[in-house]
Amino acid sequence: MSDKHLLALDVGTRKVTGMLLEKKEKGFEILAVETREHRTRAMLDGQIHDIPRVAEVVSEVHQVLQQKGQCKISKAAVAAAGRSLYTQRGRAQLPAASSKRLLPEDVLRLEYAAIQQAQQQLFSGHVGRTSFAEKHNCVGYSVVRYELDNSLIQNLVGQRGGSIACEVIATFLPRVVVDSLRGVLELAGLRLQSLTLEPIAALRMVVPEEMRRLNVALVDIGAGTSDLAITRDGTVFAYEMVSVAGDEITEALAEKLLLNFMTAEDIKRKLLKSDLLTFKNILDEKVSLPAAKILEEIEGAIDFLVEKIAQAILDKNGVAPQVVFCVGGGSLTPGLTAALANKLSMDPSRVTIKGKEMLGLLPGKTKRYQGPELVTPLGIAHTAISGDALHFYRVEVNNQAVDVMDLGNSRVSDALLAAGISSRELVGLPGRGLSLEINGQITFFQGEMGEMAEIWANGEIVSLDSTISAGDKILFVSAKPGADAKASVAAVLTRITPFALLLNGKEKLLQPPVFRGEEQLTLVSELFDRDKLRILKTMPLSWVLTELGLADELRGGSIVVTVNGKDKQIPFGPRIIRVNGKVSVPDSNVSAGDVLEIADDGTYPTVDCLTEERPRQIELTVNDKLVKVSLKDVYFSLNSKKVPLGTPLAAGDRLEINVVNHEITMADILSMINFQATPSFGQNKLVMRINGREAQFTTSVKHGDCLEIGWTI
């Protein structure tokens, strides 16, 4: 496609109009205009519902215009209807080099900065939400004002100053509207050259800059939507969309006269061309009716349409405007402008249809067009030529060609969103959490964190904020979500205060019973989101002793132990158990932190009950001092560990009992009393006497003996 040709497409609810223009020395000249109707209701209320069917019609218009212009066309300028339209004011201020005059690209950069500021405000405003950015695109904007060094100025180009600023009204539409337009173009063999909003395009042709100091409402009435733009004080200050238009009239006509939709549409267009209309209804009956009679049938639908339009104007403007200009094919509906003037309490002469002057721009003579329906396609072309439309450049995302809106500093994230990649694919979402209600309190377990997406641009790893340019090749690997949270009873118990108590001075930790409804769970039981758990904080003493392996402490019985290699059964009676100092029974309650004592009542088996042997001592007087000497020792080894008398036994214990008898001699006594082996000076004779009699080292001693031991001369 040569740069001297421009294709403007108005893809409407009822028809597609294409306008081919050629660049001349003084502006552009219209070479050809072609309009084709949709053969089915592939579009409703300005929204494309059947992309292939709409693409067929666009392709036909495309081919005809190529033939008429004898040129190859690969791109098209388009406009979107104002369905689900959001508007937001944005302002940007940038420094400027005072030594240089401002160029058009400097002003464009400033305008795009203002658009981005409007976008940020919108995403954080009353309609802001996490997914808004990925579901909406900026489709057009109007400059409200320029400032040079904080003073208002009409045009910045060619000026000098230290700072420049501008304020814009930016418009945003759902991505589905823009994506469906792009999808239609691609199927028709076209690329998206530029995009604007239908009321912006129409406004450019009907209300030029010099007229915008007046309070003018432009109403572009199509088949599916009626788009509004309102000017005041030299600028466009409001846009709005009404989701009723010419199709409302057609549908009312079809209902009243029992017609299919396409027949009703044909009759509506002929109402002002013929006094008597003949047609067949859905019963295959041939009917002839005066046009005046048919008009009576649609008065209610016309009233409904103008009521919606008038209300939208008043909501945005506050009062009736000075003038209302109507464009679009729907504005030709008989009686519509008079009815709208009545609703707004305006002079009927100030509500008028615009566009007939456009007919003079068409090549040759044609009666196919009446004027108002040409306003939007011509405005689309004019907006694209002037550079006020939003332009796009192409990159590749995973080998798919993607058109990215050129806002001056587009990022990788913009390309990914343009490719239809949602934020969920960009950032790995954490796994779903799991909430539990435990004894009436909510406890939450978080899922695992997700992994970020991997992104390369031209072979290098980049981030979402990295800038991009035309022709970049982006490779994207989706983020991975984190694993969902899982929890078991054991995990829950780690989050609560443990059931701890003191047993004979030693801390014991127990796992309290956990119930889900009437079901008692185990430590490994899996829990599910919103489970309601009950964890007991008070338990009977019998349960506590069972958990501690001391259940038999509450009742008499017998245990089997091994004594010197032989099993022996030992009976016993119940032991005394105190909870916080009070003697307790099996049903007594025990709470965390309680103090338990288990005492022997005299009948519980201990190590010394397994033998009658007891340690034996004798008493001697040595040099007038009383000395106790062990004559027999009894040693107890319980489970390989020496223990004293009175140590309690437990079932399965292994006990070794060793009895050692001692024969005590005078020599043993000498070692016991640490006798001084070296005599003092002058003494050299050892004296040893038992009860006054001389004794030897080997002389035995017995209980009650009186011993004398010492050195003499």
Q: What does the H/E/C string look like for 99-150?
A: CCCCCHHHHHHHHHHHHHHHHHHHHHCCCCCCCHHHHEEEEEEEEEEEEECC
How many percent of the chain have pLDDT more than 70?
90
Residue showing tokens 């984190």: 482
pLDDT at 129: 46
Is residue 411 predicted with pLDDT exceeding 90?
no
Residue with more model confidence, 623 or 25:
623
Are the C-beta atoms of residues 450 and 427 closer than 8 Å to each other? yes
Is residue 362 predicted with pLDDT exceeding 80?
no
Residue type, 301: A
Q: Which of 15, 27, 2 is nearest to 376 (CA)?
A: 15
Q: How confident is the model over 506-548, as pLDDT tens digits?
A: 888 888 888 898 888 888 888 888 889 888 888 888 888 888 8
Kindly state the helix (H) or strand (E) to which residue 569 belongs, with its residue range: strand 566-572
Domain span(s) for CATH 3.10.20.30 in the chain: 615-638+658-713
**Pairing mode, strands 86-95 and 538-540:** unpaired
How many percent of the chain have pLDDT more than 90?
14
Overall average pLDDT of the 298-321 stretch: 92
Mean pLDDT of the chain: 83
pTM of the model: 0.52
Sequence-distant (≥ 6) Cβ neighbours of residue 120 within 8 angstroms: none
Domain span(s) for CATH 3.30.420.40 in the chain: 47-388
Q: How confident is the model over 106-157, as pLDDT tens digits?
A: 787 788 778 778 877 766 655 544 455 556 766 667 788 899 999 999 889 8
Is residue 71 predicted with pLDDT exceeding 60?
yes
| Confidence band for 170, pLDDT divided at 50, 70 and 90 | confident
Fold of domain 47-388: Nucleotidyltransferase; domain 5 (3.30.420)
Kindly state the helix (H) or strand (E) to which residue 62 belongs, with its residue range: helix 51-69
Ranking 260-264, 401-405, 619-623 by mean pLDDT, the lowest is 401-405
d(CA 388, CA 236): 14
d(CA 586, CA 542): 5
Are the C-beta atoms of residues 325 and 219 closer than 8 Å to each other? yes
Q: At what angle do helices 198-206 and 375-386 cross, to 10 degrees?
A: 90
3-class secondary-structure state, position 523: coil
Query: Torsion-angle region of residue 517: left (phi > 0), alpha (psi -120 to 50) or beta?
Result: left
User: CATH for 615-638+658-713, among 3.10.20.30, 1.20.1250.20, 3.40.50.300, 3.40.50.150?
Assistant: 3.10.20.30
Ranking 331-335, 365-369, 658-662, 696-700 by mean pLDDT, the lowest is 365-369
CA-based angle 204:207:210, to the nearest 5?
A: 105
Is residue 87 predicted with pLDDT exceeding 60?
yes
Is residue 2 predicted with pLDDT exceeding 70?
no
3-class secondary-structure state, position 3: coil
d(CA 93, CA 485): 48
